[in-house]
Chains A and B, each alone.
Chain A
């Protein structure tokens, strides 16, 4: 009996996740009445969404090739720090990065200042190229990590053979590196394409206008400015078709896996120009570090004088973040421990659905019963939990499988089952991955500027939303202070959880 009940727990978790994703989708489709003809502006949004996602993917992967190649074959001081920095954008709040990018590349930014010295006009960042800049900022590091993994997986012997044959650089590229790139680059581009399809916060801040509106942003605008929930639902169906179609297309490709870590190995090689490699490495380091430095410099002065509203928002954000961590872990743990194959699909549902689509659906479900803004924070926590679940499962499932492989027999022979197995075997050995998953979830939820924009009333805001409002009111100093606070909270939360998993943990 107890065994049967325990077997039900993962099913219940799967059903909860399924309901959290599918019910809002059903509500959206029901309200939209299926697919109906789009007006011109909506078509513009569809084309812009596809176009910017494609360009972002191509640019990110294209630029990642020389960067990953340089990192793969050069050993230098600070290399591991740079590789770690490549992981940082993943947990960097989008709105913080945007403020940093504005400080460097904006109309009044450092780059414009430098160009002004030569009598050149200031940079115009808003529009397609601003969106691309931000997307490359977030996805170039991801693409670099994926490709770097590919380079490291090339056996060192091949480069040794190439060196003894004194192959010309082009021949070497064609024979050794090109086959790897052909295998990995399309998948990497596809991943980035899918990510950028659901771009909201970037388009909200750097895009906008009829020429640079993504479908996600159009949902928000229909919802917030036109008060047209029917149109929002219609656009949500469009977004669902786009993201679902791309996800299905992505399944046909073998997607590259970026492990979290383990990119330390440098394959010894005897080719390539130090100067060219150094150029790419310096370029990517500056590209990532300058916006962060700008936040630090501008925010440090303002953080002490932040208004109370920002501190309240920070408090709400911490609550949302911890709530999302709790929900994600409670759902992810039974799903990760279950040996059923199809559980992985449950996690993928979070990827295929976008925050604004879920938000629209949840609004439709909640609105008849209670005022949506009364539940803005719980809804934000829940949506973030669903969004983080795939990452948590990707971290926890392989770890749990490995523990079973190594110690499952001993636990079986000692009759350790259910709670006892969890307590004596799984929890202690899953501490590191649990801490890491909790840290990622916490940081992602902390920095999320998505569904909260639909649900918040003027009096409540999470920190990213409050920061966005400050930017909208051109209070850039305070916005920078809030950005620094948000940065510290996001990275700090990640660090605390990750550290908590490592401390005293035996390997």
Chain B
């Protein structure tokens, strides 16, 4: 379970607070106007942004841990792969920062084939399409074997068809390993399709997660403002 206890992020004249928790295995969409602080919330949870209050995973505070030491795998909006490394090398960094053992190499191959990239192990990101690059990054997240995934609109640059394909793949793989997901999106449709819970970020507050169907059936003021009706 992820718990945010009196989380308070202050940056210049911007402020965002959050005080709620989500159960393990949940898929949570974070929606709200741009500039509202959706990405900042993920940054605070992952340790890239400073914040007051507490972030707890299964009761253990994460505050003192560097981003790479947290039980978190992250996909950013861009720059999710090192452009000078092959697909296999990029994915391999999830397992080892030295030379991969034979067994680890096989796991890299399996992960790449799980995301549908058989035979593309030795391509560099520039030789892959946008969708394929997203799949490489997803394969790495899969092997990182961390219980909490933070997705900061990683598929925003893909077309609508590819995007829903990727979301479905994330959904499947996350279900297989039981990962908890927080995903920022600006598309309410993505949220409806993907998430069991939705957090609306509005006027400096990340509101407590609500059941997706319930929320869209009975939208509160914040969601109505965002949707524009």
Residues of A within 8 A of B (CB): 406-407, 409-410, 412-417, 420, 423-425, 428-429, 505-507
**Stretch of B66-74, B101-109, B155-163, B181-189 that contacts chain A:** B66-74
Q: Which residues of B contact A (CB under 8 A)?
A: 46, 48, 66-69, 72-74, 76, 79-85, 89, 93-94, 97-98, 124, 126, 144
Q: Name the prevailing secondary structure of the B interface residues.
A: loop
* Interface pair B82/A413, CB less than 8 Å apart: no
Contact in complex: A407, B82 (CB < 8 Å)? yes
In the docked arrangement, what's the CA distance between A407 and B69, Å? 17
Q: How far is the CA of A413 from the CA of B93 in the complex (A)?
A: 11
Q: A399: shortest Cβ distance to chain B, in Å?
A: 14
A413 touches B85 (CB 8 A): no
Interchain CB contact under 8 A, B68 and A416: yes
In Å, the complex CA distance between A409 and B43 comes to 10
Q: Which residue of B lies closest to A418 (CB)?
A: B97
| Residue of B48, B80, B81, B82 ringed by the most chain A CB atoms within 10 A | B82
Name the residue in A406, A412, A423, A507 with the highest tally of chain B Cβ atoms < 10 Å from its Cβ.
Answer: A412
- CB of A424, distance to nearest CB on chain B (Å): 7
Cβ A417 vs Cβ B82 within 8 A: no
**Within the complex, what minimum Cβ distance (angstroms) separates B70 from chain A?**
9
Chain B positions within 8 Å of A410 at CB level: 76, 79-82
Indicate if the CB atoms of A412 and B79 lie closer than 8 Å: no
Contact (Cβ within 8 A) A409 B84 = no
A409-B48, A424-B97, A429-B84 are contacts. A415–B76 as well, Cβ < 8 Å? no
Given A412-B68, A415-B66, A429-B84, A406–B79 Cβ distance below 8 Å? Answer: yes
Residues of A contacting B48 in the complex (Cβ-Cβ under 8 angstroms): 409, 412
Assembly CA distance A175 to B143 (angstroms):
62
Complex contacts, B144 vs chain A, CB 8 Å: 414
User: With the chains together, A407 CA to B84 CA distance in Å?
Assistant: 11
Q: Which residues of B contact A417 (CB under 8 A)?
A: 68
Interface-centre pick from B94, B97, B124 (highest chain A CB count, 10 A): B97
12 further interface pairs, Cβ-Cβ under 8 Å (given A506-B83, A506-B126): A406-B79, A409-B79, A410-B76, A412-B66, A413-B46, A413-B74, A414-B93, A415-B68, A416-B93, A417-B68, A420-B98, A424-B89
Tally of A-B Cβ pairs under 8 angstroms: 54
Distance (whole angstroms) from the CB of B25 to the closest CB of chain A: 22
- Once the chains bind, are A420 and B84 in contact (CB under 8 Å)? no
Complex: A415 Cα to B82 Cα, angstroms: 14
Least CB separation from A506: chain B residue: B84
Bound together, the chains give a CA A5 to CA B97 distance in angstroms of 19
A429 to B126, CA, bound (A): 15
* CB–CB A425/B66 < 8 A: no
Once the chains bind, are A413 and B67 in contact (CB under 8 Å)?
Answer: yes
Q: Which residues of B contact A420 (CB under 8 A)?
A: 97-98
A416 CA to B94 CA, complexed, in Å: 10
B98 CB contacts on chain A under 8 angstroms:
420
Task: Return B156 CB to nearest CB of chain A, in Å.
Answer: 16
Sample of 29 A–B contacts (CB below 8 Å): A407-B82, A409-B76, A410-B80, A410-B81, A410-B82, A412-B48, A412-B66, A412-B67, A412-B68, A413-B46, A413-B68, A413-B73, A414-B68, A415-B66, A415-B67, A415-B68, A415-B97, A416-B68, A420-B97, A420-B98, A423-B97, A424-B82, A424-B93, A424-B97, A429-B84, A505-B84, A506-B83, A506-B84, A506-B124
Q: Which residue of A lies closest to B144 (CB)?
A: A414
Residues on A with C-beta less than 8 A from B68 are 412-417
Complex CA gap A21/B82 in Å reads 39
Closest Cβ of chain A: how far from B157's Cβ, in Å?
16
> What CA separation (Å) do A420 and B80 show in the bound complex?
17
- State how many angstroms separate the Cβ of B59 from the closest Cβ of chain A: 22
The answer to whether B69 and A415 have CB atoms under 8 Å apart is yes
CA distance A331 to B97 in the complex (A): 25
Residues of A within 8 A of B84 (CB): 428-429, 505-506
In the bound complex, residues from chain B placing their C-beta under 8 Å from that of A412 are 48, 66-68
B73 closest partner in A (C-beta): A413
A297 to chain B, nearest CB (A): 44
Q: How far is the CA of A305 from the CA of B46 in the complex (A)?
A: 69
Q: How far does the Cβ of B181 sit from chain A's closest Cβ, in whole Å?
A: 15
- CB contacts (< 8 Å) of B126 on chain A: these are 506
Q: What are the residues of chain B within 8 A of A409 when measuring CB–CB?
A: 48, 67, 76, 79
Is the beta-carbon distance between B82 and A425 smaller than 8 angstroms?
A: yes
Residue in contact with B94 in the complex, picked from A414, A425, A505, A507, CB distance below 8 Å: A414
Alpha-carbon separation in the docked complex, A417 to B72 (Å): 17
List 3 A-B pairs, minimum CB-CB distance, nearest first. A415-B68, A420-B97, A428-B84
Q: Are B79 and A407 in contact (CB under 8 A)?
A: yes
Which residues of chain A come closer than 8 Å to B66, judged between CB atoms?
412, 415
Residues in B whose Cβ lies below 8 Å from that of A505: 84
User: With the chains together, A424 CA to B68 CA distance in Å?
Assistant: 15
Residue among A410, A417, A425 facing the most chain B CB atoms (10 A cut-off): A410
With both beta carbons as reference points, the residue of chain B lying nearest to A413 in the complex is identified as B74
Q: Which residue of B lies closest to A505 (CB)?
A: B84
Interchain CA distance A507-B89 in the complex, whole Å? 17
Contacts of A407 in B (CB 8 A): 79, 82
Most buried by B among A415, A505, A507: A415
Cα A423 to Cα B98 in complex, Å, equals: 9
A322 to B83, alpha carbons, bound, how many Å? 31
Complex Cα distance A415/B98, Å? 13
Which residue of chain B is the closest to A410 with respect to CB atoms?
Answer: B79
Q: Which residues of A contact B46 (CB under 8 A)?
A: 413
Question: How far apart are A46's CB and chain B's nearest CB, in angstroms?
Answer: 52
Check if A424 sits within 8 Å of B85, measured CB to CB.
Answer: yes
A347 shortest CB reach to chain B, Å: 27
Could you tell me the distance in whole angstroms from the C-beta of A217 to the nearest C-beta in chain B? 48
A425, A429, A506 interface centre (most CB from chain B within 10 Å):
A506
Enumerate chain A residues within 8 angstroms of B73, measured Cβ to Cβ: 413
**Chain A residues in 8 Å Cβ range of B74:** 413
Bound-state Cα–Cα, A407 to B144, Å: 18
Cα–Cα distance between A505 and B48 once the two chains are bound (Å): 30
A422 to chain B, nearest CB (A): 11
Could you tell me the distance between the alpha carbons of A277 and B97 in the complex, rounded to whole angstroms?
57
Whole-angstrom distance from the CB of B93 to the nearest CB of chain A? 5
Q: Report A-chain residues with C-beta under 8 Å of the C-beta of B97.
A: 415-416, 420, 423-424
- Per the bound structure, the CA–CA distance linking A234 and B67 in Å amounts to 56
Chain A residues, CB < 8 A from B124: 506
